[in-house]
Amino acid sequence: MEKPLILITNDDSYSAPGIRYLISVMRELGEVVVVAPDKPQSGMGHAITVSAPLRLQKIKSDQHYKEYFCSGTPVDCVKLAVDKVLHRKPDLLVSGINHGSNASVNIIYSGTMSAVIEGAMGHIPSVGFSLNDYSHQADFSHTGSYIKAICENILESGLPESICLNVNFPINDKKTKGIKVCRQGNAYWKEEFSERQDPHGRDYYWMMGVFENLDKGKDTDVWAIENHYVSIVPVHYDLTAHTAIPLIKKWKFDV
Amino acid sequence: MEKPLILITNDDSYSAPGIRYLISVMRELGEVVVVAPDKPQSGMGHAITVSAPLRLQKIKSDQHYKEYFCSGTPVDCVKLAVDKVLHRKPDLLVSGINHGSNASVNIIYSGTMSAVIEGAMGHIPSVGFSLNDYSHQADFSHTGSYIKAICENILESGLPESICLNVNFPINDKKTKGIKVCRQGNAYWKEEFSERQDPHGRDYYWMMGVFENLDKGKDTDVWAIENHYVSIVPVHYDLTAHTAIPLIKKWKFDV
């Protein structure tokens, strides 16, 4: 049987320990092609590069493995990989492992998860993996068996049309309890900028923020990873608030 | 009665004709503060600037009007405006008028609509306006009365928690028929890169794309703007595919 073709990307760049670990796991499952950003692209959301050209550089190639880095965003990487590297849809797209949680609203800012959503939009079974540990020295060793089990399910059963997965791992404290299928927790990053002055007396601002969890539910991804579970949230990209349609229809528009 | 405080941003930059028109309309409704990007930021999605400092420059100020430009993305503009310019939540956030449609999946790539979603995440009643005309010379004159009517409804009735609006206008062919409350159309931007060589013989790629409408429904935003209607889609940011949760729960994870 032919091995599945697996596309790997991330937002922390091709050299991040998270993607290196993910590559090692995925090479056990199929033919792997990596197209990842050449520099960190965290917080890039679903950004694409429309006003500048993109570069693509092949860095490794053998019979079952190819690796490229790309000058663009994670979503650029997916688009360029499909059109110019693979010349077809891969059987699976995996993104990550992100250094830091993409649970709750983090998904909206995340380049790692935006690559996954781009995959789903292009009818590719797609899944993103993130670890609730921002450190460069993070220990990913508890994630491999879960990643394999999840990917094997996807390769066997597929995913429903327009749906991808957001998988978050708890920090590796040797207490991981198993998988919970969750909903996206409701939270908010409250903005708090650090205001400074440059040597010429002009102000500048560093973005900071405080994560405010507004959701006490035990069925959320935030609850799961804080309680030693691996969270899986099925994700779609229909942003319509269907329940609000009747309300807006009642408005009077006197135009 | 105190006038409402209105924050305006966009992704085409503070100098784009679309935001200049929107400012002129909104000044009839309240106190206006503009914090918009200093350069075009189309296709930036929900990108934020975490690895570089941001600059903010005041360019106009009088009793009922202030205008700034910001070196960051549209989402940066919203966050910086709330924390460092307004020092409180505004009563209304409006974004646009975008040069080009943000109907269907365009919302996911759009900086204009990401600013709106950021507003909703911050509990600000927020609405984005876009015109289905990419030209710099686009005629916005048919949009003003609709924009006012929609904003008056929001200021009077508010919006449900976590919900914002995506409003798209048809091109101005003098045939605009009125408002339709819609759902997000299902479509896909098929990637097609133009491959070129620089003078040193190295390849580079320009992103192009073909919009593929996969949705024949007459209740979509794409249908509405193609048929001379103004579309309003209520938008939320819970990306959970709730209907897929039971399916994923059935998977066997042999970890």
List of chain B residues whose C-beta atoms are within 8 Å of the C-beta of residue A44? 45, 47
pLDDT above 70 for A174 = yes
Q: What is the pLDDT of residues B97-152, one digit of tens each?
A: 999 999 999 999 999 999 999 999 999 999 999 999 998 899 999 999 999 999 99
pLDDT above 90 for B68 = yes
Widest Cα–Cα separation across chain B: 66
Q: What is the pLDDT of residues A175-198, one digit of tens each?
A: 999 999 999 999 999 989 999 999
State the DSSP code for A91: S
Cβ distance B236 to A235 less than 8 Å, yes or no, reads no
Decide the pairing of beta strands B178-181 and B229-235: parallel
Q: What is the pLDDT of residues B175-227, one digit of tens each?
A: 999 999 999 999 999 989 999 999 999 999 999 999 999 999 999 999 999 99
Class of domain B5-185+217-249 (CATH, top level):
alpha beta
List of chain A residues whose C-beta atoms are within 8 Å of the C-beta of residue B249? 181
Report the pLDDT value the prediction gives residue B136, as an integer from 0 to 100.
85
Helix A17-26 × helix A144-157 angle, to 10°:
50
C-alpha distance from residue A73 to each of A37, A56, A88, B38 (Å): 6, 12, 20, 21
Q: What is the pLDDT of residues B140-173, one digit of tens each?
A: 999 999 999 999 999 999 999 999 999 999 999 9
Report the pLDDT value the prediction gives residue B1, as an integer from 0 to 100.
63
Q: What CATH fold (topology level) applies to the domain A5-185+216-249?
A: Stationary-phase Survival Protein Sure Homolog; Chain: A, (3.40.1210)
- How would residue B238 be classed by pLDDT, with cut points 50, 70 and 90? very high
Name the residue ranges covered by the structural domains of chain B.
5-185+217-249
Report the pLDDT value the prediction gives residue B87, as an integer from 0 to 100.
82
Per DSSP (E only), the strands in A45-186 are: 56-62, 65-70, 92-99, 126-131, 164-169, 178-181
List of chain A residues whose C-beta atoms are within 8 Å of the C-beta of residue B244? 160, 163, 234, 236
| CA–CA dist A195, A192 (Å, integer) | 9
| Closest CB from A121, A160, A179 relative to B105 | A121
Claim: this prediction has a pTM higher than 0.90: yes
CA distance A63 to chain B (A): 23
**Which residue from B76, B68, B87 is spatially nearest to B45, judged by alpha carbons?**
B76
Report the pLDDT value the prediction gives residue A1, as an integer from 0 to 100.
63
Collapsing DSSP to helix, strand or coil, B89 comes out as coil
- Does B1 or B64 have the greater pLDDT score? B64
CA B66 to the chain's CA centroid:
21
Chain B residue with the nearest C-alpha to that of A166: B240
Substitution target in A221, A238, A243, A250 with the highest count of B β-carbons within 10 Å is: A238
ipTM exceeding 0.85, yes/no: yes
Cβ distance A193 to B79 less than 8 Å, yes or no, reads yes
List of chain A residues whose C-beta atoms are within 8 Å of the C-beta of residue B203? 55-56
CA distance B63 to chain A (A): 23
